[in-house]
């Protein structure tokens, strides 16, 4: 692979990762809208450079002043109300679902866009009003400013109406589950398309050569494979990554091995270590197992004695089945995986591990509920019939695991007999 291609792929991967992190912050869209608002107020004055006095109606300064005063007086109050409503939604998402869903709720585009519109309209009205009262606009400028003000006013009304509908749902359990499902589905599809992230599949971890260590403690959030490819080409070697995205690492655990056993260049090891982004939290877009864990956490919380909501757990099981079906279908469509980084090997995500993340906690916490136990067995039976050999094996193993939990937790022998009858493990005997 040539250096230009490596650089391009590296920039794309890093950009996607940091754009996803940026979406988890509330400040950037309002800041961007403030810049555009100031530019809109000032650019209207450029219309005075064009001599079209007779062709445009003469808009009175007073009418524009009234409109701008109304916007400036109301937008700050609405923006503060929006922030309060969003904070309530965030708190609701953390308590009713799980705190791990918070980044997805914060990243809600419609809420961010509405808040940005309100703050931007406030900044625009203040700047435009100040310029208007100080004689910055003449005949043509006032007409353009009037049109821009009407546009901003319309945008505020439309944004407010749409946002009110969204804020009524934002943070509610169903809405949060939908967001987690969408994020997990996207991550699973991406991983089905590139199981080894565009590198070679590490069939076994090559613990030979020079180990690469990190100085940080946390989760692997991103791997810059283009940088690892560049390092490997620089020293004419190969790099075998030991851990998948989402793994917890510490300074004593190798991140990867460089095939050259006699490597003595410290800078090469530092460059390889810098390709791994280590953070305090796992991320949804690059770590499909994390999304499965979050869904399982929501179901476990619903099954706690304090909540006792078996219906939510049953709904989550259906969501998990839907995700695994889509993943299996995506794997069938992506049989031929292109290797873009031929000097780097990366381990793939284990399907059995994904089943552990998705179903083990539900099988444990819902073992005493006949409804949940039955739904689990039906879910495993559905997944086993997809024609995916690895998924069939995982489904059978986890059906047997859930059946053992049910045997120890269900009070009535008749209930256990019903669950056992529905189990795929019983049908295969």
pLDDT category at 132 given cuts 50, 70, 90 is confident
* Cα gap 374→424, rounded to integer Å: 11
Q: Which two tokens stand for residue 135?
A: 């004689």
At 42-78, the pLDDT tens digits run 777 777 677 655 566 778 888 888 888 888 888 888 8
What average pLDDT score do residues 322-351 get? Answer: 85
* Cα gap 307→42, rounded to integer Å: 55
Would you state the pLDDT for residue 359?
Answer: 96
Would you state the pLDDT for residue 6?
Answer: 47
Poorest-pLDDT segment among 103-117, 187-201, 218-232, 306-320:
103-117
What average pLDDT score do residues 309-329 get? Answer: 94
At 381-402, the pLDDT tens digits run 999 998 888 999 999 999 999 9
Where do the domains of the chain lie?
3-171, 185-189+285-335+349-427, 198-279
Poorest-pLDDT segment among 74-88, 190-204, 242-256, 329-343:
329-343
Residue 333 reports pLDDT greater than 90: no
The mean predicted confidence, pLDDT, of the chain is: 84
219 and 277 Cβ atoms separated by less than 8 Å: no
pTM of the entire structure?
A: 0.82
Q: Which of 219, 275, 286, 205 is nearest to 249 (CA)?
A: 219
- CATH number corresponding to 198-279: 3.90.1170.30
Indicate the length of the chain as a whole number: 429
Would you state the pLDDT for residue 164?
Answer: 82
């Amino acid at each position: 692979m040539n250096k230009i291609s490596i650089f391009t792929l590296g920039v794309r991967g890093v950009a996607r990762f940091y754009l996803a992190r940026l979406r988890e912050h509330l400040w950037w869209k309002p800041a961007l809208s403030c810049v555009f608002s100031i530019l809109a107020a000032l650019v209207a004055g450029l219309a005075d450079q064009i001599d079209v006095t007779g062709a445009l109606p003469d808009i009175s300064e007073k009418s524009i002043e009234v409109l701008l005063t109304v916007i400036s007086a109301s937008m700050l109050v609405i923006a503060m109300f929006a922030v309060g409503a969003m904070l309530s939604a965030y708190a609701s998402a953390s308590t009713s679902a799980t705190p791990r869903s918070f980044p997805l709720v914060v990243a809600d585009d419609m809420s961010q866009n509405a808040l940005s519109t309100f703050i931007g309209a406030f900044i625009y009205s203040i700047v435009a009003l100040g310029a208007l009262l100080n004689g910055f606009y003449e005949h043509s400028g006032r007409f353009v400013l009037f049109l821009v003000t009407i546009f901003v006013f319309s945008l505020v009304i439309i944004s407010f109406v749409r946002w009110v509908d969204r804020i009524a749902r934002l943070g509610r359990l169903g809405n949060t589950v939908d967001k987690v499902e969408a994020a997990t589905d996207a991550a699973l599809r991406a991983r089905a398309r590139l199981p080894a992230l565009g590198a070679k599949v590490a069939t076994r971890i090559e613990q030979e050569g020079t180990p690469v260590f990190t100085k940080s403690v946390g989760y692997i959030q991103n791997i810059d494979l283009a940088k690892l490819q560049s390092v490997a080409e620089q020293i004419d070697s190969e790099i075998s990554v030991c851990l998948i995205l989402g793994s917890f690492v510490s300074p004593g655990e190798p991140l990867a091995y460089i095939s050259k056993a006699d490597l003595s260049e410290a800078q090469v090891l530092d460059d390889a270590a810098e390709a791994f982004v280590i953070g305090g939290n796992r991320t949804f877009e690059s770590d499909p197992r994390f999304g499965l864990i979050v869904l399982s956490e929501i179901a476990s919380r619903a099954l706690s004695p304090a909540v006792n909501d078996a219906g939510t757990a049953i709904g989550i099981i259906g969501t998990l089945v839907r995700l695994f079906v889509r993943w299996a279908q995506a794997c069938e469509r992506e049989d031929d995986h292109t290797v873009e980084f031929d000097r780097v090997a990366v381990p793939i995500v284990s399907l059995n591990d994904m089943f552990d993340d998705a179903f083990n906690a539900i099988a444990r916490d819902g073992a005493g509920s006949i409804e949940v136990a039955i739904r689990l067995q039906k879910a495993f039976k559905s997944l086993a019939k997809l024609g995916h050999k690895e998924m069939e094996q995982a489904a059978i193993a986890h059906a047997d695991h859930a059946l053992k939990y049910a045997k120890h937790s269900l009070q009535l022998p008749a209930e256990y007999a019903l669950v056992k009858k529905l189990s795929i493990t019983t049908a295969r005997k």
